Structure 1
Amino acid sequence: MIETITEEQLTPQQAEFWVRARQAVDMNNYPYAVSLLKALVKQLPGFLEGRRALRACEIKLNPEAKKGGLFSGMKISTSKLTSSKKDAATQLSALEDELENDPYSIPVNEALYTAAMDVGFPDLAAFALETVRQGHPGNKKMLHMLASHYVSRDMPAQAAEVYHDLVKLDPTDSVAVKSEKDCMARATMQQQKWEEAKSFRDVMKNSAETNSLDKSDKKGLTRAELEERLGLLSARYAQNQQDLAAVRDIAGVYEQMEDWANAYSFYNYAFSLSNNDISLENKASEMNERYRKAQVEEIRRRAAAEPDNKELQEQLVQFSKEAAEQQVAVCRQRVENNPTDPQTRFELGQALFDCGNYTEAIPELQRARNNPHIRIRAMLLLGKCYDAKNMHDMALRQLEEANKELIEMNDTKKEILYMIGLLYEKLGKKEESLAAFQQIYDAEYGYRDVAKRVESSYSN
């Protein structure tokens, strides 16, 4: 059996290897990063975070799923790979060699799944199938295999997501339709710990009280109805202040009432009661941020109404600065709690950018850029950081790369093109600047001042 190895468990020499590999990734030196990471995961088969980084680099170098034969390019047979459980490291090492130039390979990832299960490493098995899911999102057989894997590990929320993808691919897939509903119900029970409480009504002393809460448990309630629901939940909370479901529901009511301060307090308390439920932690952070923004907006409104009130104007500047610094502190703590999560890195980079700390924002955004789900947003913000530091050529390279990766002319692409136009303008390249603005003009006439910029160029 192979145990998962975390970054904290690396030896000093291995940690140095890991740092060098990440630095290579940050510098877009993917071939060198692959050589370092592959050596590291071969030495440490249980270092899943390193394997994830390795696969991400291989995908950067080979972004398209290959359409060759089932086992094209393989130097060893899958029967040899999966025939023995005695030499797990050799099996996994051989499979990594095959995946280097074809990371989305279905047969090799399937062999990796089998080998991982044989040696008792289900997290790696799931990762192998998730890689196939990313490269071949329409392969129903592999999606069913992944969903079944999550079900067998009692991970209904993840299974429900995969079944949802299957239903979108084939609405007539009755197994996927039923399984998605079953897994969603199971996930809800798991989250709310209904299995331990047996049922929601078991914690209620009065069936009339239960019915009242059932009827009011919906969105779109009036202020009076929300206050009534809050009263019922508060009574239940008074009986048992460790009741996670009650605490979470109270937080939800305060959120609907837009009482951000109380919503934050109860979501934060709910997180402390839960088994480190990240969704509750994120909710608490969201409510805290909304509370700070509401305070800033109130002061901004008052300052706008009294522009000659010097004290109020100074208060607005100070309060805005403090709110931004508090957000940075919150994001730093989240990164410390989960240092390998690219989303928290991105949020810290965003907070540092908002605070005007562009230098510290850059390395956070460079790390976040390696995640395909937030890559474009991270690159856009990186471009803004470089621009703010007057590094216009570097900002331009970053944004040009992001623009190439965006096919659809959506709001993000328009913003990127607009910045590209401004940067070329700063660099004195009028033709390139106009070309960027023209692309936006052709898609949306009313975008910012693009029409004025483009049309004025024809009258000069």
Structure 2
Amino acid sequence: MAEKSVNNVSLEVRSLFHRAVDAIERGNYDYAITLLEKVLEREPTFFDAHKALRAAQLARAKSRPGFLKKLFRGATVLGKAQISIKKNPLEAILLAEKVLTEDPQNLQAHKIIAEAALEADMPQTAILSLEYVWKLNPTDRDVGLKLADALAKVGRWQEAESILNGLQRVYSDDLEIAQKLRDFSARVAMEEKGYGTFGKEGSSFRAALKDQHEAIVLEKEQQISKAPDAAEKLIQEYEKRLQAEPDNLRLIRTLGDLYAEKKDFDRALQYYQRLRALEAGVDPALDKLIADITARKYDQMIAALDQGSPDYEVQRAQLIQEKQNYLLEECKRRAERYPTDLQIRFELGTLYYQAGKLNEAIQEFQKAQAHPHRRVQALYYLGCCFCSEGDI
């Protein structure tokens, strides 16, 4: 059964959910948990509610460390949840969530939620718990394989590949891990070269991408791929026109887009940076575009590496690290330039979290809570940060 977002539930459930999120932000965690449990009883596949509930559970445990665990005994509830995994996975999830409400670090409850969520085809809900367990023990073979499969199911192929790389270092003779890693690495290479989404039945670039400009570019790229000379002809025409109109911002932007479509990222960046210099103003969308194109350039370099080379893994790891460092530093610069842009604050918090810089991540997520579309994610990450710091 498909997981639901806030836009796919009834108005009544949505209202309860928003009241719960408001309660979390006010620090009224007991009330938030009560509301979210009601929400999930009505809509057990509502992923945003699971994520908000986890944030409330972690936040309440931080505010009252050690108190609830001493009073609560969840063995009976977990036993019932374990039995329900196959015949009624949604009931198993709700039962295990009640245990996490009192003991957010209960590993058995997390594992039951993950197993039941996978049984119910709810990979995002499974990932919430699997990531928590995996962070505590990144050598757990069973958890690592389940997490990699769940990440792959929602299109997070690079993260899945990273999990398998970690497992292979521990279980070097495990044939299942080796085969799965080869399969996933091949898929990552396809994604990096831009072949991952073309040709899927029912696929829609405009529906899949929130950024309208990126959607337009990718749709044009698909059209150009059917006529290989079209992009080159347009580039020649526009560059000739640009000689006569050197300050034509539309031409410069279009040339940058066309070179990006051809995956000539160096030339694309030259035009985008020229555009930024000519505009001499504040354009956060253009700054983000430049960062995204630079990230794609790194992906292109990674995909071009010789997998047969003895130092392939070293080279690949180095480029991935360089890419992560660039994205973090670039996002810090954007946050300084646009200090009130809460989306940038959320992006920066996520990058800090991925880099293990938890104190910095907490500061950014606390600011990002004010973003109307990032509140739940920011609260969830705050809970994860506090848990990782050992405050719970």
Q: TM-score range by the shorter chain?
A: 0.5 to 0.7
Q: Distance in 2 between matches of 1:328 and 1:194?
A: 23
Q: Tell me which residue corresponds to 1:50.
A: 49
2:32 aligned with 1:33: yes
Q: Distance in 1 between matches of 2:367 and 2:197?
A: 49
Supply the AA of the counterpart residue of 1:20. R
Q: Distance in 2 between matches of 1:59 and 1:76?
A: 20
Q: Tell me which residue corresponds to 1:8.
A: 7
> How far does the alpha carbon of each residue in 1:165-213 deviate from its partner, in whole angstroms, 9 at most, with x for none?
213445565643453233201332466449999xxxxxxxxxxxxxxxx
Give the TM-score of the pair, scaled to structure 2. 0.52
Q: Distance in 1 between matches of 2:46 and 2:222?
A: 46
Q: Tell me which residue corresponds to 2:209.
A: none
Give the TM-score of the pair, scaled to structure 1. 0.46
Q: Tell me which residue corresponds to 1:215.
A: none
Q: Deviation of residue 45 (structure 1)?
A: 0.5
Supply the AA of the counterpart residue of 1:7. V
CA contact (8 A) 2:93 2:113 kept: yes
Q: Tell me which residue corresponds to 2:182.
A: 181
Q: Give the 3-state SS of the residue equivalent to 2:44 in structure 1.
A: coil
Q: Distance in 2 between matches of 1:195 and 1:72?
A: 47
Question: In structure 2, do the counterparts of structure 1 residues 3 and 244 end up closer, same or farther at CA, with 3 Å as the change threshold?
Answer: farther
Q: Deviation of residue 12 (structure 1)?
A: 2.4
Q: Deviation of residue 55 (structure 1)?
A: 1.6
Q: Distance in 2 between matches of 1:11 and 1:348?
A: 37
Supply the AA of the counterpart residue of 1:139. D
Instruction: Identify unmatched segments of 5+ residues in structure 2.
Output: 200-219, 232-251, 292-329, 369-384
> How far does the alpha carbon of each residue in 1:407-431 deviate from its partner, in whole angstroms, 9 at most, with x for none?
9xxxxxxxxxxxxxxxxxxxxxxxx
> How far does the alpha carbon of each residue in 1:204-262 deviate from its partner, in whole angstroms, 9 at most, with x for none?
xxxxxxxxxxxxxxxxxxxxxxxxxxxxxxxxx999722599999xxxxxxxxxxx957
Q: Tell me which residue corresponds to 1:208.
A: none
> How far does the alpha carbon of each residue in 1:339-366 deviate from its partner, in whole angstroms, 9 at most, with x for none?
xxxxxxxx9998576246x3xx469848
Supply the AA of the counterpart residue of 1:94. L
Q: Distance in 2 between matches of 1:52 and 1:141?
A: 23
Question: In structure 2, do the counterparts of structure 1 residues 165 and 267 end up closer, same or farther at CA, with 3 Å as the change threshold?
Answer: farther
Q: Deviation of residue 48 (structure 1)?
A: 0.9
Q: Distance in 2 between matches of 1:34 and 1:167?
A: 39
Q: Tell me which residue corresponds to 1:164.
A: 165
Moved more, 13-22 or 122-131: 122-131
Question: In structure 2, do the counterparts of structure 1 residues 380 and 59 end up closer, same or farther at CA, with 3 Å as the change threshold?
Answer: closer
CA contact (8 A) 1:143 1:162 kept: yes
Q: Tell me which residue corresponds to 2:110.
A: 109
Q: Deviation of residue 100 (structure 1)?
A: 1.8
CA contact (8 A) 1:105 1:132 kept: no
Q: Distance in 2 between matches of 1:114 and 1:351?
A: 40
Question: In structure 2, do the counterparts of structure 1 residues 21 and 178 end up closer, same or farther at CA, with 3 Å as the change threshold?
Answer: same
Q: Tell me which residue corresponds to 1:142.
A: 143
Q: Tell me which residue corresponds to 1:323.
A: 283
Q: Deviation of residue 30 (structure 1)?
A: 4.1
Q: Tell me which residue corresponds to 1:241.
A: 224
Supply the AA of the counterpart residue of 1:18. F
2:20 aligned with 1:21: yes
> How far does the alpha carbon of each residue in 1:260-294 deviate from its partner, in whole angstroms, 9 at most, with x for none?
95784047658xxxxxxxxx9xx99x998885555
2:337 aligned with 1:354: yes
Identity of aligned residues (%): 16
Q: Distance in 2 between matches of 1:94 and 1:113?
A: 13
Q: Give the 3-state SS of the residue equivalent to 1:321 in structure 2.
A: coil
Q: How well do the aligned residues superpose, as a CA RMSD in angstroms?
A: 5.5
Q: Deviation of residue 46 (structure 1)?
A: 0.8
Q: Deviation of residue 162 (structure 1)?
A: 1.7
Q: Distance in 2 between matches of 1:7 and 1:48?
A: 8
CA contact (8 A) 1:138 1:169 kept: yes
Q: Distance in 1 between matches of 2:230 and 2:51?
A: 36
CA contact (8 A) 1:104 1:136 kept: no
Q: Give the 3-state SS of the residue equivalent to 1:241 in structure 2.
A: helix
Q: Tell me which residue corresponds to 1:265.
A: 257
- Note the 1:236-315 alignment, pairs <5 A: 241-242=224-225, 264-266=256-258, 269=261
Q: Distance in 1 between matches of 2:60 and 2:230?
A: 48
CA contact (8 A) 1:150 1:159 kept: yes
CA contact (8 A) 2:78 2:96 kept: no
Q: Give the 3-state SS of the residue equivalent to 2:224 in structure 1.
A: coil
CA contact (8 A) 1:247 1:267 kept: no
- Structure with higher Rg: it is 1
Q: Deviation of residue 42 (structure 1)?
A: 2.6
Q: Give the 3-state SS of the residue equivalent to 1:99 in structure 2.
A: helix
Q: Tell me which residue corresponds to 1:92.
A: 93
Q: Deviation of residue 59 (structure 1)?
A: 3.1
CA contact (8 A) 1:321 1:355 kept: no
> How far does the alpha carbon of each residue in 1:314-351 deviate from its partner, in whole angstroms, 9 at most, with x for none?
xxxxx4434358659999xxxxxxxxxxxxxxx99985
CA contact (8 A) 2:2 2:122 kept: yes
Larger RCO: 1 or 2 (CA < 8 Å, sep 6+): 2
Supply the AA of the counterpart residue of 1:40. V
Q: Tell me which residue corresponds to 2:206.
A: none
CA contact (8 A) 2:221 2:261 kept: no
